[in-house]
Amino acid sequence: MNFPTRQALCSALLCLPLSLHATIVQRCEDPAGNVTYTSLGCPSDHDIQLQNAFNAPPGSSGNAALLPPHDQSPRRQSEAVRQEKELTVVGQRDDGCGNRLSAEQRRRAIINQQTPPGMTKRDVESLLGRPDKVASRNGETRYTYNEKKGRSSQVTFDETGCVKGKR
């Protein structure tokens, strides 16, 4: 072997790692129990656990040492973490009408072009647009919408700006 080839070979051997190191990866488990291993990070709704990843050299024995002990399996740890979590409601949306309509009821009413009691002025204007006529009397506000063929519809609001029920 000539000298430049020998020098290139020695330089290449010096660049090789002397030993293999374990890498830490993240074990992500979604609420359905599906597990993903990644080094990039887990989504916010997944349980996260750091794990040492060691790729044993070929031909080595003792694979049992690479597995976690049975009593400390990741699934049991994540189940214990899930049982300890409690739901805490920090805040609630206040629509100004006493939250008489849930979000689902409000969506259903808008889809069906209805104005049930408890809707706000903002909801009604979002649904029907700006009124053609606005009248106020005794703390009540009445929106009048002129439709085609001479017909009209009215929506009455109480003093707080919520749709009143029919009496």
Using one digit for the tens of pLDDT, what is the confidence trace for 47-101? 888 877 766 667 666 555 555 555 555 555 555 555 666 666 666 677 788 888 8
Tens of pLDDT, residues 103-143: 888 889 888 888 899 898 988 988 888 999 999 998 899 99
* Residue 118 CB-density burial (10 A; 0-12 exposed, 13-18 middle, 19+ buried): buried
- φ, ψ dihedrals at 140, nearest 5°: -100, 145
Tokens of 115: 């104005």
Query: Cβ distance 49 to 36 under 8 Å?
Result: no
- The total number of residues shown for the chain amounts to 167
What's the one-letter identity of residue 5? T
Task: Return the pLDDT at 35.
Answer: 86
Query: Cβ distance 9 to 2 under 8 Å?
Result: no
Question: Which one has a higher pLDDT value, 5 or 22?
Answer: 5
H/E element, 152: strand 152-157
pTM summary value: 0.43
Bridge-based pairing state of the strands 140-146 and 133-137: antiparallel
Tens of pLDDT, residues 40-49: 778 888 888 8
Largest pairwise CA distance in the chain: 107
DSSP letters spanning 24-91:
EEEEEE-TT--EEEESS---TTSEEEEEEE--PPTT---GGGGSPPGGG-HHHHHHHHHHH-------
Query: Cβ distance 106 to 123 under 8 Å?
Result: yes
Long-range contacts of 13-22 (CB under 8 A, 24+ apart): 20/54, 20/55, 20/57, 22/52, 22/53, 22/54
